[in-house]
Structure 1
Amino acid sequence: MSLVTVIILTYNEELHIERCIRNLQKISSHIVLIDSCSTDKTCAIATSLGAKVYENPWPGSHSIQFNWALENCTFDTEWLMRMDADEYLTDELIDEINRTLPATPSETGGFIIKRRVIFLGKWIKRGGFYPHRLLRVWRNGYGKLEERWMDEHVVLSKGNIAHLQYDMVDHNLNNLTWWTQKQNNYANREVLDLVDIQNRSTAAANVAASLTGEQFSRKRWLKEKAYSRIPLFVRPLCYFFFRYILLLGFLDGKAGLVFHFLQGFWYRFLVDAKMLELRMAGLKRSEKK
């Protein structure tokens, strides 16, 4: 009997969903898709593989969609797990989960998993991108996603956090045109997140920004207390230099150059350009008044 239900948010993921489900079936027979009205074969493929599919129109953010699932779907297993359609578990992690969950002490509320990113066929090991530690497994009823536009994490209401040793893999098979379009959409949400930080309206986030906490808490502190206070267009340069030079991103080769430049500089420069556009629009509205 499966101990864990895996929840996947999907929209037009026919390229990845079979790989994802077949991989996850090695730890669970309870795989649930929350689909945002896909127009491709995502739902048909998932259903044919035995997954359960719920459809809910995209509400605007991952956190709202995921929390909708927690509030409206019935999960009978002791544990829940969050996965993306373009992710999968290594064989070592599969074995570790199957051994660990049945023997987990009651005081443990969730597990952090290390995620590795594959980009243009290469594992991005440097630039501060590995290991990326995320809370992805938690006891049913103990957690929900924090409500923010970007970098939303699972927040536990009780229980200790433990760490799993082995990796999950983020390996998206789409081309760079698709990838850059996705980053453009992320940039819109990143702007909203930074505006919330500036307006001090992120109290609902729940993950405390702390230099002494888990990795996601430290990153949250750096974003809210440092990065967000650096002038526009200066911060993408500083971040790229820090990541590509000081954190040795250049050792990831050509694929690493493309990844660190696009994700570490171009994306963040685009966010700042959108921030500038937003400020100019606000200034124009003020002048008209």
Structure 2
Amino acid sequence: MTDVSVIILTHNEEKHITRCLQSLLPFTDKIFIVDSFSTDRTVEIAQSMGAVVVQNVWVNYATQFNYGIEHTPFQTTWLMRMDADEYVMPELADEINRRLTSLPDGVGGVYVKRRVFFLNRWMRHGGFYPIWLLRLWRRGDGFCEQVWHDEHIKITRGEPIQFEHDIVDHNLNNLTWWTQKHNHYTILEMINLLNYRYQFDNAEKVQPKLFGTQEQRVRFLKEKYASLPLFTRPILYFIYRYFVRMGFLDGHAGFVWCFLQALWYRFLVDAKLMEVNIRVGQDRDKIIDYFRTEYGKDLRAIRPQQVSQA
């Protein structure tokens, strides 16, 4: 087995957890799951497959994942981040076995490609593949950045490299579940966009950089996106994804994906931002009170990273 352990966050993932864990077992049996009190068979299934499971109250993804980094019982050289609805391709499992433990000390992290499946079809176009994500890093040299949404692993030492093969994001829940989940995400995305202007927190984040890593480039483009006019930007984004980046090549599923992910979702974010402006204007303190009252979110709750990396 390779000198790597995997951290997974779960809540009611019985549809996915077996597939995820089976894809990990070819290269590690050291799997640590932080569960936010699932009410289905997630914990039972994970434990039956040899995973170590603890339960912790959910605050947000970054807080929960950093709890996992701090409390993992495995003293492996490398850590890996996985979501329960993802799985590792056999080619990547083999690559991890072959390459990971022989990497030079100067390598601090490893990027892998993610394939996204939607309505059982691989979204190969529209700029959604390859998506490079830093998923492996040396224990003690990385943490999950403290943002409300679209969190990335930030390494503190060494340089990252890229592996050749893929993980797959293939959620098996229905479209009603997907839209309800993304409706919730619109609240978190609102906070992120407002945070560019109001700086509600001073947590350490991935720095925006057009010609940096993928997450630095995404952060740079998101800041530019945030400066565009409401409602114009989701329409432009849909045109970019569906026509310029040829999302139409993914057929009917590609149209639904681009429409929902690039237009509907971001249009709903803008509509909710307009609602905030109508109700409380642009006063920073009133916005903070509004999110606390309406959504139960303390916009100042995220603090600089304090998780022990030992």
TM-score calculated relative to the size of structure 1: 0.95
1:86-97 to structure 2, matched below 5 A, reads 86-97=85-96
Which residue matches 2:114?
A: 115
Equivalent position of 2:252 in the other structure: 254
Alpha carbons 2:66, 2:144 under 8 Å: kept: yes
1:125-144 equivalences under 5 Å are 125-144=124-143
8 A contact 2:2–2:101 mirrored in 1:
no
Q: 5+ unaligned residues in a row in structure 1: which ranges?
A: none
Q: Which whole-Å CA distance do the structure 2 matches of 1:74 and 1:123 have between them?
A: 35
Which of 242, 245, 261 lines up with 1:244 in the alignment?
242
Aligned to 1:157: 156
Superposition deviation, residue 202 in structure 1: 6.1
Q: Percent identity?
A: 50
User: Which position in structure 2 is the counterpart of 1:145?
Assistant: 144
Q: How does 1:1-289 map to 2 (within 5 A)?
A: 1-59=1-59, 61-201=60-200, 203-224=202-223, 226-283=224-281
Q: Which runs of 4+ in 1 moved over 4 A?
A: none
| Kept after mapping to 2: 8 A contact 1:2/1:29 | no
TM-score under structure 2 length normalisation: 0.89
Query: Is the contact made by 2:2 and 2:100 (CA closer than 8 Å) also made in structure 1?
Result: no
* 1:66-110 Cα distance to aligned partner (Å, 9 max, x none): 011222333311100000001011111111111011211111111
Contact 1:148 1:202 in 2 (8 A): no
Query: How far 1:283 sits from its partner (Å)?
Result: 3.2
Number of aligned positions between the proteins: 284
Quote the RMSD (CA, aligned, Å). 1.4
Q: Distance in 1 between matches of 2:168 and 2:281?
A: 44
5+ unaligned residues in a row in structure 2: which ranges? Answer: 287-310
State how far apart, in whole Å, the 2-side matches of 1:43 and 1:72 are. 17
Deviation at 1:206, TM superposition (A): 2.6
Q: 1:110 touches 1:160 (CA, 8 Å); kept in 2?
A: yes
Partner of 2:297: none
Whichever residue aligns with residue 29 of structure 2, its letter is S
